[in-house]
Chains A and B, each alone.
Chain A
């Protein structure tokens, strides 16, 4: 029984990765969909490429993937990765390898607001589980799911991220490039933040 609980837990933990290292074609994410950098991004891409030697274009894969992810609203479809592969002149699998390695490259759709609750030991002691429960109940989703209007929620396990990690609760928000942390929240406060986000305001 303990073993089953343990394996269940591990499976939950594994889902922290944004998608398995396998791609499954779906109507909005398949290699046949065309995808290109916008014109402004094409300029930015050229500028990024100029940082690297011309025979090592593949060194630019991470900045370019980041650019593609921002353009695409926080996640990378496989056609975007194929396009980046064409830009840096490598086989697509090399780009897939990089994208699956880094956890901040989302290969499945995430919502407009990406909320993470820190679940490391210090935060757990201060009650981050309750925060998480409150959030989940309020939003009506389970972990790693997207709500109907695109709010995404996830429980970060075991990583102190780039927050303090000294015993305050931390809620991080990732909104495209916006990365803000709100510390020392209570369950009520979290609901307030979510409502503020729904109205379109940036929480303090």
Chain B
């Protein structure tokens, strides 16, 4: 606030007071310095205002006022702050820049109020209040009529508040074991930090501490329940966000234990997030146990590529090794959660790595060669082959730059047989809205009716919406286990036909919805009748008015990190049968492509980072770097382009994907015109400029429902929808190489 405004406010107050209170007016008539004799409160806060520095909200938070008329003003340590009605005292203090210690409160979970660490003093209250649970109220009494200056007065630094915190901390530490040296949470432990900052310097406990039996929650979460301080964050997370009601607080008093009562493993795909949530070392990461302390680790902000969500992660590495992966905050995409696969697949980065170029000799065994020789061999073969017999397949984990380079290279060689894994034999890349999540992951929260066609990954968001607004969910596909109420409408395309013609009972729910969302899973891409299914889905969308200027409810949920960028760049093969006629096949990290129809004399080049399925048929292996070692652009299922950052150096003699192709093009004589990352990015900007606007989601301009041409194929009603993801924990080359994922799929897969 500028000084001018402050001065005008002071004057405003003084004049208002003077006009409404005759006795004050009388006083003013006698004394010539009105400010000194105004009502104490107004002067007291009018004067210090210019002296108080501007307070920034904690952690750069912003306040959103849903209803601008409903703004109340409260005072935090004398500093006035405007908050929307309904905010708690703790949130008001956060906006005022005061960080109140807490253990059980979490901004994304319901309020429990059982740790009592957030106690602050509020004027006129007989005892300290739990700020996480108490709504911040405006003042009462005669001052309520005045809009200014009489909100709740919150004090966070008085002796009473400090004594309360010290007392609570003492109680919490009473039964807490002296495990700091052996506890994984040391260094990033809320209890440690808050006891240093807010606790007393000595304890008075001379009794015997209680201990608790450890629970077995699976191969991912290590439990040392003696350390638990019963904050119930994990219970609330499991109930609300993950949707599995497995954890509970059993027993009472000092014998309370968090557990599952029966021997049950946490099978939810979000179970690893309780590791972040637990403020102490009770729930920690089992694969990361005793590996490193958090101050040794260097965090690199990057993007996850195991699925198409593109969760923001921070790769913690120590030297050349990735030690763990933790989530980053991104409100739009993954909030604060990452799936178990994202969190624990990093040990696959250390196994089965390709580090040297290899050529398969005449005896069928691979021989390590130098880059020069390998590239020379590939260039030689590629010139002996006719252009239409050259085929390129981009893998699931390919970034946009390398796919651009591959497409350019193949096009200069005269071939256009290039596609990305998972997009099916004949993808339709004409209209962007036909393959991305048009509603955006964040926008799913506004939907009120969902129709899911064989999609199962953006569940947490849908669950949040269903929980908050009781949205209805209808599901067409194989019987699956969702953690929210849903109606299973059917298993095959005939259900879709019924829905489009309005015969199905769920149709009424769809048509009455204000913001309906239809989510089609990308497993549809692999079917032959894909176009027919899409046209039926679009017909449904048109009938229920799901596609409007302000709301596009027709979404496609992609499976791989590379699919969206591939379709943006136009990786569409010229013919569906290119594999059968191929004489030269370039697999760029493609391991799940079906190579049965490949002729036996075809020359296969595999460029990738893991020795997975692709190398078995390869003639030449070119080692590339994984996503944690290169800077690449990935587009997630909603079309938001994000870049990874190299966190660790790459392995052996491996190089970046696009650099390999650039070198190959030079050796082959068709040199590609870019030498640096910025050059290849400017090439991308000529094809798909949206991929360069990092972290921005560009909505599709046209919608397919109005522009798609007539489809002549008929739907194959006899083939019900299958699951696109057979084993959640093993979907690409890195996860298949990971031991932790193997343990998970053995013990945690839902059978």
Residues of A at the B interface (CB closer than 8 Å) are: 3, 6-7, 10, 14, 17, 20-23, 25, 31, 78, 90-94, 96-97, 100-101
Contacts and interface: CB of A to CB of B under 8 A. Distances in A.
B495 interface: no
A93 to B, nearest CB: 4
B208 A21 contact: no
B556 to A, nearest CB: 33
B701 interface: no
A100 B250 contact: yes
Given A21-B255, A21-B259, A93-B261, A7 B245 contact: no
A164 B349 CA distance: 70
B249 A22 contact: no
Interface string B724-745: 0000000000000000000000
A96 B256 CA distance: 13
B261 A23 contact: yes
Given A10-B208, A96-B248, A97-B250, A21 B262 contact: no
Nearest to B254: A14
A78 B264 CA distance: 14
B208 A22 contact: no
B240 interface: no
A25 B250 CA distance: 17
Q: Which of B215, B251, B259, B261 has the most CB of A within 10 A?
A: B261
B262 A94 contact: no
A22 B260 CA distance: 8
Given A3-B208, A6-B208, A14-B255, A23 B263 contact: yes
B248 A97 contact: yes
Interface of B: 208, 213, 215, 245-252, 255-257, 259-263
Contact of A21 (B245, B246, B251): B251
A125 to B, nearest CB: 25
9 contacts: A6-B208, A17-B255, A21-B251, A22-B259, A78-B262, A93-B261, A94-B245, A100-B252, A101-B251
Given A21-B257, A23-B263, 19 more contacts: A6-B208, A7-B208, A10-B208, A20-B213, A21-B251, A21-B255, A22-B250, A23-B262, A25-B262, A25-B263, A78-B261, A92-B261, A93-B246, A93-B260, A96-B261, A97-B250, A100-B251, A100-B252, A101-B252
A31 B215 CA distance: 18
B213 A93 contact: no
Contacts of B208: 3, 6-7, 10
B224 to A, nearest CB: 15
Nearest to A10: B208
B262 A31 contact: yes
A106 to B, nearest CB: 14
A122 B262 CA distance: 40
B91 to A, nearest CB: 29
A90 B239 CA distance: 12
Nearest to B252: A101
Nearest to B260: A93
Given A10-B208, A25-B263, A93 B257 contact: no
Main secondary structure of the interface of B (DSSP, over half): loop
A120 B215 CA distance: 34
Contacts of A97: 248-250
A82 B438 CA distance: 42
Nearest to A91: B245
Contacts of A6: 208
Nearest to A78: B262
Question: Nearest 9 A-B pairs (CB), nearest first?
Answer: A91-B245, A21-B250, A96-B261, A93-B248, A21-B251, A100-B250, A97-B248, A101-B252, A21-B257
A23 B262 CA distance: 5
B250 A96 contact: yes
Contact of B213 (A14, A22, A90, A94): A22
A7 B210 CA distance: 10
B261 A94 contact: no
B263 A21 contact: no
A3 B208 CA distance: 8
A136 B2 CA distance: 83
A108 to B, nearest CB: 13
B252 A94 contact: no
A17 to B, nearest CB: 7
Nearest to A85: B245
B246 to A, nearest CB: 6
A31 B264 CA distance: 12
Contacts of B252: 100-101
A10 B208 CA distance: 9
Nearest to A90: B245
Contacts of A25: 262-263
Nearest to B247: A93
A100 to B, nearest CB: 4
Contacts of A14: 255
A38 B213 CA distance: 36
Q: Which of B245, B247, B257, B262 has the most CB of A within 10 A?
A: B262
Contacts of A93: 245-248, 260-261
A144 B246 CA distance: 30
A92 B261 CA distance: 10
Contacts of B259: 21-22
Contacts of B261: 21-23, 78, 92-93, 96, 100
A50 B703 CA distance: 52
A1 to B, nearest CB: 14
Nearest to B257: A21
A101 B261 CA distance: 12
Q: Which of A6, A78, A100 has the most CB of B within 10 A?
A: A100
Contacts of A17: 251, 255
A30 to B, nearest CB: 9
A31 B249 CA distance: 20
A23 to B, nearest CB: 5
Contacts of B248: 93-94, 96-97
